[in-house]
Structure 1
Amino acid sequence: MDFDDDEAFMESGEEDETPNHSGDEDDGIAMEPAPTMNSDGKEDDFEYTVLTPDEIVQEMCTMIKDVAAVVQIQPTTCRILLHHYKWNKESLLERFYDAADPEKFFREAHVVSPFVRQAKPREHLSGPRVVHCPTEETCLICFLMLPTSSLTGLECGHRFCTLCWGLYLTTKVMEEGRGQSIACPEHKCDILVDDAKAMEL
């Protein structure tokens, strides 16, 4: 049907079946008052202060120190926790103290709990114990046998050589832009690299 056919249809005496409402009628829907607008024509939801980069860093350091003092854990771990909770200190502390399972609290933030040491189960031996300290280990990335002193790892226990760590961190930061949430290089390990370890490497 073209435009002329539509006009002919309306003129043929057929009435439009859509009801004709005037804008003054109440349709039963409650209307909320219009929000206040600022000078830019945008809605004012909350007050805020614009911070300089230096002020942001200072505020972050203050939050990290506050949380570390309350929960008694390392500042580098506090930074990871605050990042996980979107820098909401109150939410972090509430979840920390309400957590029925502290292990789960830290695991959700991709951190090994600083309160529980990873201990391997010991076999009960009746005779004297002999402790074997290997002098060489295999890097889990390049698979080279290297002196134990040249490998390092996170609390998860996965160890890698210094060269592999350096290349891994450089790739994550420079090419992927992931400075705040770099996970352990081990496949399917989500434990995050803390600031102290990253600076050490």
Structure 2
Amino acid sequence: MDSDNGDDYNNDPHPEDEEFPECSQVVPPKTKSPSFQVIASESLQAVWQEDVRRVMELLSVKKSQARMVLIHNRWDLEKVYAMLAEKGASKLFAEAGVSIPKEDRSSHNNPVAESSTRYCSICMESMPENHMTRMDCGHCFCNNCWTENFIISIRHGKSRRIRCMEHECNSICDDSIIRSLVRERDINLAEKFERFILESYIEDNKMVKWCPRIPPCGNAIRVEDEDDMIWEVECPCGCQFCFGCLSEPHSPCTCSMWEMWAKLCDKSGTSNWKKESTKPCPKCHKLTQNDDGCDIVVCFCGKSFSWPHAGATGKEHAGTAFANRSSGPDRQENEEKSKSGGQDRRHFT
């Protein structure tokens, strides 16, 4: 009798198991320790400056230009080396929006005669030449117009790659000039710009991630090898996490298996709330929440996209349709329903 019951149990179908990947996809435990580096917040600048120094020496460019190349390539030194060998320096600079000025071209720091004047095609006024600034691409506008453009860009989260104001110019503005002009107008905003540039080393770099501890400890983890990205690491603050997905350690499950299980086990309705209230950026895929009622949302990575359709778009406002989005009391009611939606699933065996 017992034997029959055991056979029946083993042959009993479990349709819920079909939702999960085959066991062959489980990552076997590794036999060596991961190679990673802990970066404290106070030493973060020194670490990324070392990468900048390498590119400066490799390409014989100034600091701001090396940083532009790295930001465009998401701080991937190996990718920079590969592109240089495959496409050459000129193509590498063009794709990164870096303009290398001619040697006879006057720079921003060169002294100019105060009596000479130039015409700014933005505000359409003539000004003393020492009130004008020329970028590496050669385009020159008054300091006031440059500063206003920089301030608007920083406030809209586009600080990492601010383009020249000239029509159809794809050159990226020198961040040292941005910093200098904005600081004269708003010191706090200039510090915010500095912070955005610094944080891009973490947020755009697949080899470096913030420790996910809440409240934040300020440390970052940098893996030395791309194969180590699925390792489970431990921050000095005591937080253990998977470097691949920033979740709690889940070995031997893959990140995709763990994500699937976490969704099924979410009793608080957080997943439903995220689905109703947030949408992923089409560029960096980070969750974005629309809290100002506008159909055009700008992610912190600088990408503009349509909130109703969650698709990439231009910077212009494409109409004022508010379909598929609620606000005020209706929005609050929908959020409460979403949060309570996870209570249906009570137990797993």
TM-score tier after normalising by the smaller chain length: 0.5 to 0.7
* Residue 65 of structure 1, CA deviation: 1.0
State the SS of the aligned residue for 2:39.
coil
Specify the alignment match of 2:46 in structure 1. 58
Partner Cα separation in structure 1 for residue 131 and residue 156 of structure 2: 26
Partner Cα separation in structure 1 for residue 116 and residue 71 of structure 2: 38
The match for 1:188 among 165, 168, 172 is 168
> What does 1:92-131 align with in structure 2 at a 5 Å threshold?
92-100=80-88, 102-113=89-100
**Are residue 200 (structure 1) and residue 200 (structure 2) matched?**
no
Specify the alignment match of 1:142 in structure 2. 123
**Structure with a larger share of its residues in strand:** 2
User: Which residue identity does 1:52 align to in structure 2?
Assistant: A
Partner Cα separation in structure 2 for residue 79 and residue 70 of structure 1: 13
State the SS of the aligned residue for 1:137.
strand
User: Which residue identity does 2:176 align to in structure 1?
Assistant: A
In structure 1, runs of 5+ residues without a counterpart are 1-20, 24-29, 38-45, 120-133
Partner Cα separation in structure 1 for residue 156 and residue 168 of structure 2: 18
Q: Which has the larger radius of gyration?
A: 1
Partner Cα separation in structure 2 for residue 109 and residue 64 of structure 1: 15
More relative contact order, 1 or 2 (CA 8 Å, 6+ apart): 2
Change (3 A) 1:105 1:36: same
- TM-score (ref. length: structure 2): 0.38
Change (3 A) 1:117 1:93: farther
C-alpha contact (below 8 Å) 2:136/2:174 kept by paired residues: no
Partner Cα separation in structure 2 for residue 58 and residue 193 of structure 1: 23
Q: Percent identity?
A: 23
**Are residue 35 (structure 1) and residue 27 (structure 2) matched?**
yes
Partner Cα separation in structure 1 for residue 99 and residue 104 of structure 2: 9
* Residue 188 of structure 1, CA deviation: 2.0
User: Which residue identity does 1:97 align to in structure 2?
Assistant: A
C-alpha contact (below 8 Å) 2:72/2:96 kept by paired residues: yes
Partner Cα separation in structure 1 for residue 136 and residue 123 of structure 2: 20
In structure 2, runs of 5+ residues without a counterpart are 1-10, 14-21, 106-114, 182-349
Deviation digits for residues 49-103 of structure 1 (CA, Å, limit 9, x no counterpart): 5533333322211100122122221111000000011101121122123324x32
C-alpha contact (below 8 Å) 2:100/2:137 kept by paired residues: no
Runs of 4+ in 1 over 6 A off after TM superposition: none
Deviation digits for residues 156-193 of structure 1 (CA, Å, limit 9, x no counterpart): 221111111111111111x2122211111122212111
State the SS of the aligned residue for 2:54.
helix
Specify the alignment match of 2:77 in structure 1. 89
- TM-score (ref. length: structure 1): 0.64
Partner Cα separation in structure 2 for residue 200 and residue 33 of structure 1: 53
Residues matched between the structures, number: 152
Partner Cα separation in structure 2 for residue 196 and residue 104 of structure 1: 23
Specify the alignment match of 2:297 in structure 1. none
Partner Cα separation in structure 2 for residue 99 and residue 33 of structure 1: 37
C-alpha contact (below 8 Å) 1:137/1:145 kept by paired residues: yes
Specify the alignment match of 1:43 in structure 2. none
Specify the alignment match of 1:151 in structure 2. 132
The match for 1:167 among 142, 148, 152 is 148
The match for 1:176 among 150, 156, 159 is 156
CA RMSD across the alignment: 3.1
* Residue 33 of structure 1, CA deviation: 4.4
**Structure with a larger share of its residues in helix:** 2
Partner Cα separation in structure 1 for residue 56 and residue 71 of structure 2: 14
